[in-house]
Amino acid sequence: MPARFTHHLLTLALLLALLVPGLPILLPATARMDFLWLDRLTADQAQRDQADPDIVLVDIDDYSLRAMADTVGRWPWPRATHAELAEWLLAQGARAVVFDIWFSEPDIQRPEFDQYFGEVLDQHDNIFLPSLLMNSAEPERTRRFDSYPASLPIHRTETALADARGDLLLPAMGSPDHWHLGLINYLADSDGISRHYRTRQLQQGWMLLSLPQVVADHLKLDTTGVPSPLRIAWSGNGKDSPYTKHSYADIWQNVQNGTAQNLQGKIVFVGATAAGLHDLRPTPVNAQYPGVYLLANTFDNLKNRQWLTYQAWHGMALGLPLLLWLYWRLQRQKPLLATALQFGLLSIFLLVSSLVAVRYHLLLPILTPVLAGVILLGTGTALRYWQEFAARQAAIEMFGRFLDPVVVQQLAEQGLNEQTLAGQQCEISVLFSDIRGFTSMSEKTTAAEIMSLLNAYFTQQVGVIFKNQGTLDKFIGDAIMAFWGAPLPDTHHAIHAVNAALDMVDELERFRLERGLADFDVGIGIHSGSAVVGMLGCEQRLEYTAIGDTVNLGSRLEGMTKGIARILVSQATRDLCGDTFLFTPHGSCKVKGREEPVNIYEPRRKAT
């Protein structure tokens, strides 16, 4: 695979990887990927955060529904019950009583109870009831905002539309002038989980306030700068109430008995946790979280100015340097294992950073940056593997021209790499084999016949070289050059070279006999020593070859065989063979380029 093509692919992978941490910015719904981790952190932090001790819950739980069935009846209970409860709570010193119960339909059978509750609401300005901004199928038929009582949590802004409309669910008792209402519209993210609470919302230029915001404003709490929607900083383990909680039935018993209870300065939320009343919501801390806990947590955040901070762009801020660093490592062909280990350490660092950040109520989105890094690293690894695979296949194809396929396979298993192909000083035995009388033979035979003859001869001789673990260097006209000892080290290279030469002579005899070539003969010279072996040539054409004085002497020995023997080896080769073969000495001779004469020998196999 060309380097430029790989570069372009890696750059494309970087751009695609950058999209991953950028997706929560472009498509907020994709932020749920990060919240697979952040929700876990949120739940863990919730167990460390202390709930406000001034917040108290009166819980309509399953126990209360059973315990009060004989006295006040089945749910819904008479509104006089709630009115008495509210009066008693305020008498115990509660600063505010906040109901998370709907009173939107009149009690037709007991209108006097509605009237009683209305009187209680008129007498106290610190009893708060819920309202709801409903989705209407015919918004043009809903009530205009400016027609609602001034006491409602609807405020005109500079951009308010005069004919803005909205359908608010209102209480069925009490005077609107004395109502203290706030919205409790449930807000869920795209995955259905509630992580936010909309403390304020703008509708056609009209500002509508939530119930927790209305209570906070009444108590004159500083809520300037509070974001809306507010990302809730939860308290507790998600199963039990994080706040002091009393069963409604127990408090009701105190109301009936006139038993005092110190609630001085408390903000009391009255709501249901009973499963049958269906006021449960999925949140990061619990898949079935009571709505009254949700209200209390939101008010707690407002009162103590403590909420979670999450910004989708933080993922891009974390991911960009990580991905650029990975891209640089991969482009520079840095070791993959080291890159993967370093990436793992950086991912752990991001993990620890997010663990620390949540202690300060900051949610760091790390999953998408790490996922983007995994994508880029995986792509880079695949490209690197493909590069190495392609280079290895090319090397295998190249070596397949020089070596026996078994040897090529051994090389492949060891790993064909730059070190394998680079020029190295090796101890080798080099063999030259040349056909005798080839020139005169060529004059008597057509070129096509000569080519056919040589191809047949070379095929047989190369097979012998490969059988004896040799490396075919090249064909030089009608000559063959081969060597032993590279690319795979061979401690018996001299023995293998001589044995190959003897087999080549045997193969020659069969070749002459089969084709009736009585004058067809060869000369073979072998020398052992040090040589540089590796790739040689130019960018357009490279060959795996051996160069050096050892090669030159091997060629000279082949030229000396005329009139002496078919095979001649040097003293160095003879010494390395030990007593494996029989050697007939043929004296010494002067070789061009050498001052000292060279002892030459003719090898023969020992009799068996």
Q: How many CB atoms lie within 10 A of CB 382?
A: 12
The yes-or-no verdict on residue 291 having pLDDT over 90 is: yes
Give residue 489's Cα distance to chain centre. 42
Looking at per-residue confidence, does 235 or 28 come out higher? 235
Instruction: Say whether 602 sits in a helix, a strand or coil.
Output: strand
Query: What residues contact 550, with CB distance under 8 A and at least 6 apart?
Result: 428, 430, 527, 528, 529, 530, 531
Instruction: Grade residue 320 by pLDDT with cuts at 50, 70 and 90.
Output: confident
Strand-pair partners of 247: 59
CA distance 440 to 404: 33
> Residue 368: its pLDDT value, please?
83
Query: What residues contact 66, with CB distance under 8 A and at least 6 apart?
Result: none
Angle at 186 between CA 166 and CA 228, to 5 degrees: 80
Terminal alpha carbon distance of the chain:
54
Q: Report, as an integer, the average pLDDT of 75-85.
A: 95
Q: Where do the domains of the chain lie?
A: 3-21+311-394, 51-305, 400-604
> Residue 375: its pLDDT value, please?
84
Phi, psi of 321 (to 5 degrees): -65, -35
- Token digits for 310? 């999450």
The yes-or-no verdict on residue 280 having pLDDT over 60 is: yes
The yes-or-no verdict on residue 442 having pLDDT over 80 is: no
**Which tens digits make up the pLDDT trace of 453-489?**
999 999 999 999 989 999 888 888 889 999 999 888 8
CA distance 287 to 273: 13
User: DSSP class of residue 62?
Assistant: H
Instruction: Grade residue 283 by pLDDT with cuts at 50, 70 and 90.
Output: very high
Q: Report, as an integer, the average pLDDT of 314-323.
A: 81
- Token digits for 546? 């051996």
Instruction: Say whether 483 sits in a helix, a strand or coil.
Output: strand
Q: Report, as an integer, the average pLDDT of 271-283.
A: 92
The yes-or-no verdict on residue 98 having pLDDT over 80 is: yes
> Residue 139: its pLDDT value, please?
83
Instruction: Grade residue 1 by pLDDT with cuts at 50, 70 and 90.
Output: very low
Place of tokens 């990061």: 284
> Residue 19: its pLDDT value, please?
61
CA distance 454 to 457: 5
SS3 assignment for 526-595:
EEEEEEEEEEEECCCCEEEEEECHHHHHHHHHHHHCCCCCCEEEEHHHHHHHCCCCEEEEEEEECCCCCC
> Residue 405: its pLDDT value, please?
64
The yes-or-no verdict on residue 85 having pLDDT over 50 is: yes
b/e burial code for range 531-561 (CB count within 10 A of at least 16 → b): bbbbeeeeeeeeebbbebebbbbbbbbbebb
> Residue 406: its pLDDT value, please?
58
**Which tens digits make up the pLDDT trace of 404-426?**
565 666 666 656 555 566 678 99
The yes-or-no verdict on residue 495 having pLDDT over 60 is: yes
SS3 assignment for 326-351:
HHHHHHCCCCHHHHHHHHHHHHHHHH
**Which tens digits make up the pLDDT trace of 210-219?**
999 999 999 9
For the chain, percent of residues with pLDDT exceeding 90 = 62
The yes-or-no verdict on residue 118 having pLDDT over 60 is: yes
Q: How many CA atoms lie within 13 A of 71 on its CB side?
A: 11
> Residue 31: its pLDDT value, please?
63
Averaged confidence pLDDT in the chain = 88
Q: Which fold has domain 400-604?
A: Alpha-Beta Plaits (3.30.70)
**Which tens digits make up the pLDDT trace of 351-407?**
999 999 999 999 998 888 888 888 888 887 887 777 777 777 766 776 666 555 656
**Pairing mode of beta strands 181-183, 362-363:** unpaired
- Asked if 315 and 21 touch (Cβ cutoff 8 Å), the reply is yes
Angle at 247 between CA 241 and CA 251, to 5 degrees: 130
CA distance 566 to 126: 120
CA distance 533 to 516: 39
- Asked if 309 and 361 touch (Cβ cutoff 8 Å), the reply is yes
Q: Report, as an integer, the average pLDDT of 154-183.
A: 93
> Residue 399: its pLDDT value, please?
65
**Backbone CA torsion sign across 400, 401, 406, 410:** negative
**Which tens digits make up the pLDDT trace of 9-21?**
667 655 665 565 6
> Residue 601: its pLDDT value, please?
95
- Asked if 581 and 498 touch (Cβ cutoff 8 Å), the reply is yes
pTM recorded for the entire structure: 0.70
Query: What residues contact 221, with CB distance under 8 A and at least 6 apart?
Result: 302, 303
**Backbone CA torsion sign across 460, 463, 468, 474:** positive
